[in-house]
Structure 1
Amino acid sequence: MRQVALFCIGGFFGFLIDAGIVQFLVSSFDANPYLSRLLSFLCAATGTWLFNRRFTFKGVRHYGHLGEWSRYLFAMSGGFAVNFTIYSTLVYHTTLAQRLPALAVAVGSLGGFVVNFSASRLWIFRHRKG
């Protein structure tokens, strides 16, 4: 339960990064909400990786920083695919999400949570026996 709670806290920080960047880019620069989301995901995933490696899944490391970060981004891409599908559907079909893409990020984040936690716990930060 501790890991789930900490993963949620890290995910909340990631959401703030993700939603903040995409909302800033769309509102301030009239940026494409789909392309903006790719940049915001990269920033958010890096932030959650830093949080999760320090607090949620602390322990022995089996990869260097770059190796762990790249595996983490790869693992999070499954959750991002779910997240981005929901996000894109909302942005495409609703004017509210077009004006406030941060809301669509929030809904999409719920969909990607299970995939991301499973990938983190079972692959990136798993404890090896022996």
Structure 2
Amino acid sequence: MTDLASLLPGRFGHLVRQLGAFGGVGVIGLLVDMAVVWLCLRGAGLNPYAARAVSFLVAATTTWVLNRAFTFRGARPEAAHRQWAKFLAANAVGGAVNYGVYAALVSGVGFFAAVPEAAVAVGSLAGLGFNFTASRTLVFRGA
């Protein structure tokens, strides 16, 4: 079976494959994030804010490892600790983009005020776009 990316020309097909892999890794990161929050709340008795801080670090580290190994495996070599720190910073900024888009839509657009779940989806897409671009150009250069 032929995938869509193989039908696209050269670099564009490569970009589509990377974006798909990045999105798949993101889904795994989301599942890890949710599981760690649950464990921190139920198992360790942490408050929701501390649980979220722990889950972000675990999920971001998981996605960094998977993106390094699969999505951007052709990137120029870089010290792991430096690349990990850049990935965490990029994802933190991407999280702020996600929340900013969500907040702007909910506060400024009637439809999204009535259906904030839709604003979550738009914010997530904005965050995904930012994180993919930052990861590709700043963290995993040359992939």
Q: Distance in 2 between matches of 1:60 and 1:18?
A: 26
- Offset, 1:83: 5.1
In structure 2, the partner of 1:63 is: 78
Higher relative contact order (Cα pairs below 8 Å, separated by 6+ residues): 1
- Determine if the alignment matches structure 1 residue 126 to structure 2 residue 125: no
SS of the residue aligned with 1:48? helix
CA contact 2:91–2:131 (8 Å) conserved in 1: yes
- Offset, 1:29: 4.5
Q: Distance in 2 between matches of 1:28 and 1:46?
A: 21
1:80 alignment partner, one of 95, 102, 123: 95
- Determine if the alignment matches structure 1 residue 24 to structure 2 residue 14: no
- Determine if the alignment matches structure 1 residue 33 to structure 2 residue 48: yes
In structure 2, the partner of 1:45 is: 60
- Offset, 1:50: 0.5
Tell me which stretches of 4 or more aligned residues in structure 1 moved more than 3 Å: 27-30, 82-86
Q: Distance in 2 between matches of 1:71 and 1:114?
A: 17
TM-score when scaled to structure 1?
0.71
Whichever residue aligns with residue 66 of structure 2, its letter is F
2:28 alignment partner, one of 7, 13, 33: 13
CA contact 2:94–2:128 (8 Å) conserved in 1: yes
- Distance change in 2, residues 1:28/1:82 (3 Å): farther
Count residues with an aligned counterpart. 109
TM-score when scaled to structure 2?
0.65
- Looking at CA atoms only, which structure, 1 or 2, has the larger radius of gyration? 2
Q: CA RMSD in A?
A: 2.6
2:124 alignment partner, one of 98, 102, 110: 110
Q: Distance in 2 between matches of 1:125 and 1:114?
A: 15
Gaps in structure 1 of 5+ consecutive residues: 87-103
Aligned-residue identity in percent: 39
